[in-house]
Chains A and B, each alone.
Chain A
Amino acid sequence: GAVVSQHPSWVICKSGTSVKIECRSLDFQATTMFWYRQFPKQSLMLMATSNEGSKATYEQGVEKDKFLINHASLTLSTLTVTSAHPEDSSFYICSARDVTSESNEQFFGPGTRLTVL
């Protein structure tokens, strides 16, 4: 099956620093990737939809200048949390859709746990 990887798996950083998270589709091309955030005991919250070669579409309430998304190739999207603060500590998960698949399934990366001190 299709595989999506994320790097890093977990990161601890100081308040005010920036953190970059990579999401890669390993064996398929993903014109669209999705970035989610999940706080403890809550469901997934879509942050933005990342489209290859164009600007990301952000959900209401998500600051595009704080969460920078770049989708420069068909297999890589990056999320940069700029000037991170403790309230940004969360589980960040990306997913990718295989446009050639009839199932419309989204394949999830393993997630990145961010802790901001």
Chain B
Amino acid sequence: GQNIDQPTEMTATEGAIVQINCTYQTSGFNGLFWYQQHAGEAPTFLSYNVLDGLEEKGRFSSFLSRSKGYSYLLLKELQMKDSASYLCAVMDSNYQLIWGAGTKLIIKP
């Protein structure tokens, strides 16, 4: 079956760095997405990886290893507004997104 695994919850300190991991097993692969979702709001796009390696975008970076079925989202210089759920999703061979359950990130002062 298809499966996306990510930690349920993480806590970090304002100004620090946090890495959220995601492992996946899917039927086919057409890219991996990271989305941010604040409570009561729809997800917003953060990053897309389809090739191995690191994609950097400001304070956020995303890494992919297709051979290991592994990705991580790296958040630097954490701010209180980064408190949210972070969703990992993989697009399978049918171009359908398979979603992880999300990682709730709590930022403490």
Contact = CB atoms under 8 A, between A and B. Distances in A.
Interface of A is mostly: strand
Contact of A44 (B41, B91, B95, B99): B99
Chain B: number of interface residues, binned into ranges: 20 to 34
B95 A104 contact: yes
Contacts of B43: 44, 93, 108
Interface of A: 32, 34, 42-44, 46, 49, 91, 93, 97, 103-111, 113
Contacts of B48: 103-105
Contacts, number: 44
A42 B48 CA distance: 23
B33 interface: yes
B31 interface: yes
B87 interface: yes
Given A43-B100, A46-B97, A111-B42, A104 B30 contact: yes
A104 B44 contact: no
27 contacts: A34-B97, A42-B101, A43-B87, A43-B99, A43-B100, A43-B101, A43-B102, A44-B87, A44-B99, A46-B97, A49-B96, A93-B42, A93-B43, A97-B95, A103-B31, A104-B48, A104-B50, A104-B95, A105-B33, A105-B45, A105-B48, A106-B97, A108-B42, A108-B44, A111-B41, A111-B42, A113-B40
